[in-house]
A = this chain, B = another copy of it.
Amino acid sequence: MTDTTRRLNLNVGINTTGYLGAAWTHRRDGTRQDVYDPAYYLRIARLAHRGVFDALFLSDMPLLRPEPGSRPLHTLDPLILLTSLAAQVPDIGLVATVSSTYNSPYNLARRAQSLDILSGGRLVLNIVSNFVPEVAANFGNDPLPPREIRYPRADEFLQVAKKLWASWDPRRDGDIDPGQFWGPDSAHPIEHDGDYFAVRGALNVPRGPQGHPVIAQAGASDWGLDLAAKHGEIIYCNILSRAAGQSFRQKVNERAVRFGRDPSTIKLVPGLVAIIGESREEALRKHELFSGAGSEDGLLARFAREHGIDPADFDPDAPLDGEDFIPDGDRIQAVGMGRGWAELLTHERLTARQAVRRAEGNHRLVLGTAEEVADQIIDLWADGTVDGYTYQPPRAPDDIEEFVDKVVPILQDRGVYPRAYEGRTVRDRYGLPYPD
What is the chain B residue whose CB lies nearest that of A69?
B180
From residue 147 to 179 of chain A, which have CB atoms closer than 8 A to chain B? 168, 170, 178-179
Q: Which residues of chain A (87-128) have a CB below 8 Å from chain B?
A: 87-88, 102-104, 106-107, 110-111, 114-115, 117-118, 120
Out of B111, B118, B137, which one reaches A200, CB within 8 Å?
Answer: B137
The answer to whether B102 touches A141, judged by C-beta atoms less than 8 angstroms apart, is no
Tell me, in angstroms, the Cα distance from A359 to B222 when the chains sit together.
Answer: 61
Which of A24, A80, A184 has the most B CB atoms < 10 Å from its CB? Answer: A80
List the B side residues contacting A62 at CB < 8 Å.
106-107, 110, 204
A421 contacts chain B at the CB level, 8 A cutoff? no
Chain B, Cβ-Cβ closest to A197: B140
Contact partners of A85 in chain B: CB under 8 A: 87
- The closest CB in chain B to the CB of A110 belongs to B77
Query: Chain B residues with Cβ under 8 A from A181's Cβ?
Result: 17, 24, 32-33, 70-72
How far apart are A209's CB and chain B's nearest CB, in angstroms? 11
Interchain CA distance A168-B25 in the complex, whole Å? 21
Q: Does A326 have its Cβ within 8 Å of any Cβ on chain B? A: no
Q: How many Å from the CB of A343 to the closest CB on chain B?
A: 32
Q: In the complex, which residues of chain B have a beta carbon less than 8 angstroms from the beta carbon of A79?
A: 80, 111
Of A33, A74, A84, A110, most B-chain CB atoms within 10 Å: A84
Give chain A's interface residue range (CB within 8 Å of chain B): 35 or more
A83: chain B residues within 8 A (beta carbon)? 80, 83-84, 87
A410 at the A/B interface (Cβ < 8 Å)?
no
Which of chain B's residues has its CB closest to A142's CB?
Answer: B198
A141 and B181 CA atoms in complex are apart in Å by 30
Query: Which residues 197-233 of A sit at the B interface, judged by CB distance below 8 A?
Result: 197-206
Q: Does A278 contact B (CB under 8 A)?
A: no
Q: Is A332's beta carbon under 8 Å from chain B?
A: no
Residues in chain B near residue A304, CB distance under 8 A: none
- Residue numbers in B under 8 Å from A33 (CB-CB): 170, 181
A204–B72 Cα distance when bound, in Å, is: 8
Contact indicator B80/A118 (Cβ below 8 Å): yes
The complex places the Cα of A202 from the Cα of B180 at a distance, in Å, of 49
Q: Is A66 in the interface zone, CB < 8 Å from B?
A: yes
**Do residues A64 and B168 form an inter-chain contact, with CB atoms below 8 A?**
yes
Give every chain B residue within 8 A of A118 (Cβ-Cβ): 38, 76, 80-81, 84
A187 sits at the interface (CB 8 A): yes
Can you list 23 contacts pairing A with B, beta carbon distance less than 8 Å?
Answer: A32-B178, A36-B205, A38-B120, A62-B204, A63-B204, A64-B187, A69-B180, A75-B206, A76-B205, A77-B205, A79-B111, A80-B115, A83-B84, A83-B87, A87-B88, A104-B139, A106-B139, A134-B200, A137-B198, A139-B199, A140-B197, A140-B198, A141-B198
